[in-house]
A and B are shown apart, each in its own frame.
Chain A
Amino acid sequence: MATIKVSKETRRWVLFVALVAPALFLRFITAVHPVYKTITLSFQEVNLLTRVTRTVGWRNFVELIHDPSIWEVMRFTVVLVAASVVLQLVLGMGVATLLNASFRGRHLIRSINLIPWAIPTIVAGLAFRWMLDDQYGMITDIISRLVGHRPEILIHPGSAQLAVILVNVWKNTPFMAVVLLAGLQSVPHDLYEAAKIDGSTSWQSFRYITVPVSTPLIITLSLFFLIWQLANFDLILGLTHGGPGIATTVLSYRLFQEGMLWYKWGYASALGVGLMLVVAVVGLLGLYLFRRYDVRF
């Protein structure tokens, strides 16, 4: 009986494929296929409710570009995400530095710090909606006691946008702080001691040791938060419903409306593709800028 000789190299390849294939398959059905499907749908008119499905070429994208509201939505999306990430980074680093200090009860404080992050976003949105209410809101009451005027925060576009940004920062800074804290704890302590011997001030140690060593983590976190917050809409849903007008509407909220409320999957997919491009551009730009920043150290 003839036997088939299998070389050692072939066996290694077979083993490699057997081990890697499940992971590849999983990635394919959870990432590649949805992206492919979204791109396909973006060239179609698909409406489950009217049962219409037909290829419409670039029409969804043309409508998207000619929709005057979309640019307003895009503008606030960029402002929200950029301002939030910058503030979360700055405040997160500050909180992480404080939590990294040695003091009694710091473990308790670290746990308390996480409370805002642990609250579901939609709940936080609804709670802040009440807290910012012009008549019964706790926050508006405090402001009115301080300045003698009760502001209608969620009614005016500027203050509503600011409120969304600040609530978003309040919600996510603790998580940023905890991850940055883990990074700070990994900085070799002897670097600080050496700097101290050389006469470095606390600020200089932070500037020339903490920040450079933490930069890879900051890059990763920033990109993660940028992408994550571009896709988030639950805070908007709970807090403002995108209003007043569309002043606080973001791309992901519009996508939710088009896709999940009105079942216009083709147009929603075109928006999704647009969002994906924005994520890609912002991500690449962020990576590029942070790398440049990293080089300087």
Chain B
Amino acid sequence: MSRSTRVVWIVMSLALLMLAATFHAAAVKITVGVGGWAVDDLKRALVELQFTEKTGIEVEVVTRPGSPPEFLSQMTSAFIAGTTPYDVVDIEDDVAISFSRAGWLEPLNDLFDDEFWADWPADMRAMVDVWHTHNGEIFRIPHNFEAQYFFYRKDLFDAAGLTAPRTWDEMVTAGKRLTTEDRWGLTDGLAKGAYLAVYMGYMTQQAGGNVYDFDDSLRTSLQFIHDMMHEHRIMPVAALNKDYDAINVDYMNDRVAMMRQWPFFYDVSRSDPDWFAEDKVAIALPPAGPASGETYAAAWGWVIPVTSDKKEAAKTFVQFINSIENAPKLAEMSVWYLNTRYSVMSAMQGRGLAGHLQQYSQAGVIGTRPFHPNFLEANAVVEDLASAYLTNQITLDQVIERGRARMQTLQ
């Protein structure tokens, strides 16, 4: 073999080796599960942030089941079988509680340093401590911070010479003024199936307690809601059969003057340009109850199943997507990644919904979501009893008595 032939062979071998190495590096591919509504945004974000180019990790973004029961069934079967359909998955509060208590989520404490956590304001850190940590281990990194907002028809309030209510009493007064034959002063999505429990948690927090304690604060909030429905008649009893889509339709058909709603209504209301006007979808701080004017935020966040066989790549993804550098860019791309982290708020500069989130955060009204380790079942107890009371099937005393008894069995 001549010398030139040997050189050609060596060069070709080296080229092949480099090619193989490149393929090997790019061959790490993780599957990331998100809700159907977030798939396109995440795919676009990963391309724009050049995730694969920067990390050498390919990502397949897939849709996870949207409803918690369906998702719980899917993941429980997978965990028991020692597998997982996702290496990283975006999960909500109620699912996170179940999975973390079962020990099915990878601890993420080591992924982030003090500099990272310094970017988090007190309200988000409080949420992380309660909802994202178990036995001292952080198992989920939230990418959003969804406060419940108080939406009201400023146009109607102005016409009636009213200002946004600051207390429960003012809300009743405004409700009475604005309730007509075709319009309710106030509504909410109170159907069973996690809607009613959310509202009860929100109102009971404003009354000074945790809804799952079945104490006087729940008594106060239930009595108040009952009065709004049956005595003041400013809130429809039919709200007990409405979900969020239904109350959005009510609001946008001019049948409601005020409602509490999650942030997604901000975009929904703007989807009908013929109806939309800024003063039809004004946002005020929550009317304060006897104890506080707090709302609370829920969150979705990234977790890594312990059964993933690509944990290191999955951790790289979680680090990348939540980094101080990338989190603001994601928030600018989609409100799904909006939160109160300093870097995010700074980048958003009060634009759109971020302005309202900042207002709520700075006013200190975003409390921590009421917690119960047996969250799903505890919610069902609250909903069974609250629904029965609000439809006059049982008394307030029976609610408290039966609630305490049932909660005791959940300990």
Tell me whether A134 and B388 are in contact in the complex, defined as CB-CB below 8 angstroms, given that A63-B409, A260-B73 are known contacts. Answer: no
- Decide if B121 is an interface residue (CB 8 Å cutoff): no
Contact of A261 with B391 in the complex, beta carbons under 8 Å: no
Contact of B387 with A244 in the complex, beta carbons under 8 Å: yes
Looking at B38-46, B165-173, B238-246, the stretch in contact with chain A turns out to be B238-246
Tell me whether A244 and B409 are in contact in the complex, defined as CB-CB below 8 angstroms, given that A133-B238, A133-B241, A257-B380 are known contacts. Answer: no
Contact of A156 with B391 in the complex, beta carbons under 8 Å: yes
- Decide if B102 is an interface residue (CB 8 Å cutoff): yes
Tell me whether A155 and B191 are in contact in the complex, defined as CB-CB below 8 angstroms, given that A50-B102, A246-B384, A262-B377 are known contacts. Answer: no
By a CB distance below 8 angstroms, the chain B residues around A133 are 238, 241-242, 246
By a CB distance below 8 angstroms, the chain B residues around A203 are none
Contact of A157 among B72, B391, B402 (CB under 8 A): B391
Contact of A50 with B101 in the complex, beta carbons under 8 Å: yes
Contact of A244 among B255, B380, B393 (CB under 8 A): B393
- Decide if A136 is an interface residue (CB 8 Å cutoff): yes
By a CB distance below 8 angstroms, the chain A residues around B242 are 133
The residues in B between 159 and 201 inclusive whose CB is less than 8 angstroms from any CB of A are 191-193
By a CB distance below 8 angstroms, the chain B residues around A135 are 238, 250, 255
Name the distance in Å between B385's Cβ and chain A's nearest Cβ. Answer: 7
Distance in angstroms between the alpha carbons of A261 and B193 in the assembled complex:
11
Interface centre among A134, A257, A261 (most CB of B within 10 A): A261
In the complex, residue of chain B having the shortest beta-carbon distance to the beta carbon of A245: B388
Name the distance in Å between B409's Cβ and chain A's nearest Cβ. Answer: 7
Contact of B192 among A152, A241, A263 (CB under 8 A): A241
**Chain B 213-239 against A: per-residue CB contact (8 Å), 1 yes, 0 no?**
000000000000000000000001110
- Decide if A32 is an interface residue (CB 8 Å cutoff): no
Contact of A244 with B402 in the complex, beta carbons under 8 Å: no
- Decide if A104 is an interface residue (CB 8 Å cutoff): no
In the complex, residue of chain B having the shortest beta-carbon distance to the beta carbon of A157: B393
Contact of A49 among B69, B98, B250, B393 (CB under 8 A): B98
By a CB distance below 8 angstroms, the chain A residues around B101 are 49-50
By a CB distance below 8 angstroms, the chain B residues around A152 are 236-238, 241
The residues in A between 188 and 245 inclusive whose CB is less than 8 angstroms from any CB of B are 240-245
In the complex, residue of chain B having the shortest beta-carbon distance to the beta carbon of A247: B393
Contact of A51 with B103 in the complex, beta carbons under 8 Å: yes
- Decide if B249 is an interface residue (CB 8 Å cutoff): yes
Name the distance in Å between B107's Cβ and chain A's nearest Cβ. Answer: 17
Contact of B241 with A48 in the complex, beta carbons under 8 Å: no
Tell me whether A155 and B69 are in contact in the complex, defined as CB-CB below 8 angstroms, given that A241-B193, A243-B192, A244-B388 are known contacts. Answer: no
Contact of A154 with B376 in the complex, beta carbons under 8 Å: no
Distance in angstroms between the alpha carbons of A154 and B237 in the assembled complex:
10
Name the distance in Å between B79's Cβ and chain A's nearest Cβ. Answer: 8
Tell me whether A262 and B240 are in contact in the complex, defined as CB-CB below 8 angstroms, given that A135-B255, A157-B393, A244-B393 are known contacts. Answer: no
By a CB distance below 8 angstroms, the chain A residues around B193 are 241
Name the distance in Å between A45's Cβ and chain B's nearest Cβ. Answer: 12
Contact of A155 with B76 in the complex, beta carbons under 8 Å: no
Contact of B391 among A48, A155, A257 (CB under 8 A): A155
The residues in A between 237 and 280 inclusive whose CB is less than 8 angstroms from any CB of B are 240-247, 257, 260-264
- Decide if A129 is an interface residue (CB 8 Å cutoff): yes
By a CB distance below 8 angstroms, the chain B residues around A154 are 241
By a CB distance below 8 angstroms, the chain B residues around A243 are 191-192, 240-241, 383-384, 387, 391
Tell me whether A261 and B240 are in contact in the complex, defined as CB-CB below 8 angstroms, given that A157-B393, A244-B391, A245-B391 are known contacts. Answer: no
In the complex, residue of chain A having the shortest beta-carbon distance to the beta carbon of B80: A48
- Decide if A22 is an interface residue (CB 8 Å cutoff): no
Contact of A245 with B76 in the complex, beta carbons under 8 Å: no
Name the distance in Å between B55's Cβ and chain A's nearest Cβ. Answer: 33
- Decide if A69 is an interface residue (CB 8 Å cutoff): yes
Distance in angstroms between the alpha carbons of A134 and B241 in the assembled complex:
9
Name the distance in Å between B35's Cβ and chain A's nearest Cβ. Answer: 19
Contact of B76 among A48, A50, A156 (CB under 8 A): A48
**Chain A 128-153 against B: per-residue CB contact (8 Å), 1 yes, 0 no?**
01000111100000000000000010
In the complex, residue of chain A having the shortest beta-carbon distance to the beta carbon of B384: A246
Distance in angstroms between the alpha carbons of A68 and B394 in the assembled complex:
13
**Chain B 56-89 against A: per-residue CB contact (8 Å), 1 yes, 0 no?**
0000000000000100110010001000000000
Interface centre among B249, B255, B384 (most CB of A within 10 A): B384
Tell me whether A261 and B393 are in contact in the complex, defined as CB-CB below 8 angstroms, given that A133-B241, A155-B237, A241-B191 are known contacts. Answer: no
Name the distance in Å between B254's Cβ and chain A's nearest Cβ. Answer: 12
The residues in B between 355 and 411 inclusive whose CB is less than 8 angstroms from any CB of A are 374, 376-377, 380, 383-385, 387-391, 393-394, 402, 409
Contact of A261 with B102 in the complex, beta carbons under 8 Å: no
Distance in angstroms between the alpha carbons of A246 and B387 in the assembled complex:
8
Contact of A245 with B380 in the complex, beta carbons under 8 Å: no
Binding site for A on B (CB under 8 A): 69, 72-73, 76, 80, 98, 101-103, 191-193, 236-238, 240-242, 246, 249-250, 255, 374, 376-377, 380, 383-385, 387-391, 393-394, 402, 409
The 13 listed contacts between A and B (C-beta, < 8 Å) are: A49-B98, A134-B238, A155-B238, A155-B241, A155-B391, A240-B192, A243-B192, A243-B391, A244-B387, A244-B391, A245-B387, A245-B389, A261-B380
In order of increasing CB-CB distance, the 9 nearest A-B pairs are A245-B388, A241-B192, A134-B238, A244-B391, A243-B192, A262-B377, A49-B102, A154-B241, A241-B193
